[in-house]
Amino acid sequence: MNVQFRAEFFNIFNVVNMGLPSNTILGSGFGLINRTAGSSRQIQFSLKAAY
């Protein structure tokens, strides 16, 4: 029997990529960045058994 364990890491250092600033001129939040452009840290584990 052969067992394989795998771990995959996405954005392991949790670097934040900021989104675009608000472009509504008449709004109170003009020029503010209030969201991120990407996902947070994700870790995925898998186990495969073959015989």
What is the token pair recorded at 9? 């890491």
pLDDT score recorded for residue 46: 97
pLDDT score recorded for residue 8: 96
Residues 4-50: pLDDT tens digits?
999 999 988 888 888 888 877 887 888 888 888 878 889 999 999 99
Count of structural domains, the chain: 1
The DSSP result for 1-51, as a single string, is -EEEEEEEEESTT----B-PPP--TTSTTTT---SBSS---EEEEEEEEE-
Angle, alpha carbons 17-20-25 (nearest 5°): 155
Please determine, for residue 3, whether its predicted confidence score (pLDDT) is greater than 80. yes
pTM equals 0.53
Q: Which domain, by its residues, includes 9?
A: 2-50
pLDDT score recorded for residue 16: 84
